[in-house]
Amino acid sequence: MNEKKDSKKPLIVYYIIALIVVMLLNALLFPQIQRYSVKEVAYSEFLTMLEEGKIKSVQIDDTQIAFTPTEQLDDGKATYYVTNRVTADDKIVDRLLDAGVTFTQIVPEEMSPIIEFLLSWVLPLVIFYALGSFMFRRMSKQMGGNSMTFGKSNAKVYVEAQTGKTFDDVAGEDEAKDALKEIVDFLHDPQKYRDIGAKLPKGALLVGPPGTGKTLLAKAVAGEAKVPFFSISGSEFVEMFVGMGAARVRDLFKQAGEKAPCIVFIDEIDAIGKKRDAAGVGGNDEREQTLNQLLTEMDGFDAGKGVVILAATNRPEILDKALLRPGRFDRRIPVELPDLAGREAILRVHARDVKTEPNIDYTQVARATSGCSGAELANIVNEAAIAAVKDGRKSVAQRDMEEAIEIVIAGYQRKNAVVSQRDKLTVSYHEIGHALVAAKLENAAPVQKITIIPRTSGALGYTMQVDEEERLLMTREQILDKITTFCGGRAAEALIFGRITSGASNDIEQATKLARMMITRLGMSDTFGMMALETQSGQYLSGDANLVCSDQTAARIDVEVKQIIAQCYERAMQILTDNKEKLHELAKILLEKETITGIEFMAVLAPNQLPSTFEPTDAAQSGAQGDAQTDGGQA
């Protein structure tokens, strides 16, 4: 698509050309206007001429005396003389009066009228124009380059050949793709829908956590439908001037109508689609005006033309109800975190552009990345490729994938970190305490890796567990076992050293969160039963919860949370006390090797439970095969 180049030169170029022309005219054609000449003489000559009566008039200032002679030269020009004033001569006024010289003559300036006009009028205008242009350009650059494009939509337009995305590039979101395929089919063959009386949905809202591929899905819809694709962020509608957002909405829909059938994608629509409230009454709220214009445009355009509005947000709870009603965004399509099969498919999609070894187990990697979004999985594949390059290899191996998972979960290894032997011993017992308690609990996930190598996340070590199968529901017993596992590190410190450290800070936070959730949200309390005691806000972002109960009830909740954690702690302490010899033996091995795998851990703890084909692996190359649960001491 060839764009027409703007042949107009900047206005400042024309100003410069005009100035040069005027200066040439002044030098060549208008010198006759300068009808005066000025001659400088000595002060003594001035006094002589004054005594001889050759001076007609005088003008005196602080430093100079200018005078007009009674007789002019024969060159046709009026001649004026100037001389430096002698400050010691205080009788100059008397001399002038005695000679009958007047004081009314004013020496005219030698400057040309043209030059005087240019300096007085043209030059200031040029300076103001240049200064204004500089300030506007600077302001425009600071505000994204759009502050002066009044009413013009800056949506990026992709034609069919530029989107480059299809549904084959989207993995792990089969339900969302199925919902969007109907829109694609309508854009391909709208007549069969018109024949039965069906109308194309005006809009579809994609909701889900960050990184799940909402923008990618919108581009894939445009690529499959082979129609133009308008992409704009919600924040780009709201600019410096009031009313400009509404003008940009009008311009966007005007462009979309001209290129129909097409798809308009508004990313982060919550920037302009927030709920309206009484706070804007009597004011001039720019966002509210923009939202009102968007609602009007979505009602006004004809869906039969094939203009589909797609929007994405991870804060659907704050959107205005008028925006979500049928006739505007007819469909709400959830784009959730991928499940096990979805994660494996996503990994394979991103691995297509990376040279990998043929024996990579994507199922194992997917199991180890429970809760990861598509963007995080893409980052894992990229980190694995970088690790292979650092190691001097030309293809990605399984151990690169495992190391990349550890980087995403716990950060990079702090190889130069100086940890005292006493602290390393404490961390060893702490992590073995987690692992040993988990191994003895019926509902805990199997241990896959234990390490005491410090990480950039602040963890001095961590224990990684992975479930053998993906769990969608958790029983009360499973949650209690999870809390007990979190208590294992602190219990090991207290049992072996008789003291406790700050290394259990993250464990305490996670255990408290689970115990409180059991009571306030999951109805797993004997005291409160199935009573909702808190509400969750921002489920796709922070997941913050707010208590909806009295202060007395909140105090009772705190008491019950404390009881649950205390019971789990005592249970963890009992398990470690019963297996104290194994705790010493495993902590010594971990201190020596710094990293051991789950199989090596079980070989010491319960050798009879290992498969007959077990072969010990190198702990330094063992990968992070765990998933959701990592227990680490915080520095």
Catalytic residues, by residue number, are: 431
**Gap between the Cα atoms of 387 and 384, Å rounded:** 5
**Gap between the Cα atoms of 293 and 381, Å rounded:** 43
Residue 538, CA distances (Å) to 228, 266, 533 in order? 33, 20, 17
Q: Are 368 and 627 in contact (CB under 8 A)?
A: yes
Tokens of 89: 């001569």
Helix axes 421-440, 598-605, angle to 10 degrees: 80
Query: Would you give the DSSP letter of residue 50?
Result: H
345-359 burial, b at 16+ Cβ within 10 Å, e below that, comes to bbbebbbeeeebeee
**Gap between the Cα atoms of 603 and 591, Å rounded:** 17
- Backbone φ/ψ region at 10: left (φ over 0), alpha (ψ -120 to 50), beta: beta
Query: Would you give the DSSP letter of residue 121?
Result: I
State whether residue 515 is helix, strand or coil.
helix
DSSP states of 428-475 as a string? HHHHHHHHHHHHHSSSSPPEEEEE---BTTSEEEEEEE--SS--S---
Residue 150, CA distances (Å) to 231, 235, 239, 290 in order? 19, 16, 10, 14
DSSP states of 125-162 as a string? HHHHHHHHHHHHHHHHHHTTT-TT-TT----EEE-HHH
State whether residue 82 is helix, strand or coil.
strand
Q: By C-alpha distance, which of 490, 485, 506 is closest to 427? A: 490
**Gap between the Cα atoms of 606 and 585, Å rounded:** 13
**Gap between the Cα atoms of 54 and 79, Å rounded:** 13
Measured in whole angstroms, the distance separating CA 421 from the mean position of its chain's CA atoms is: 42
**Gap between the Cα atoms of 628 and 464, Å rounded:** 8
Tokens of 169: 């590039």
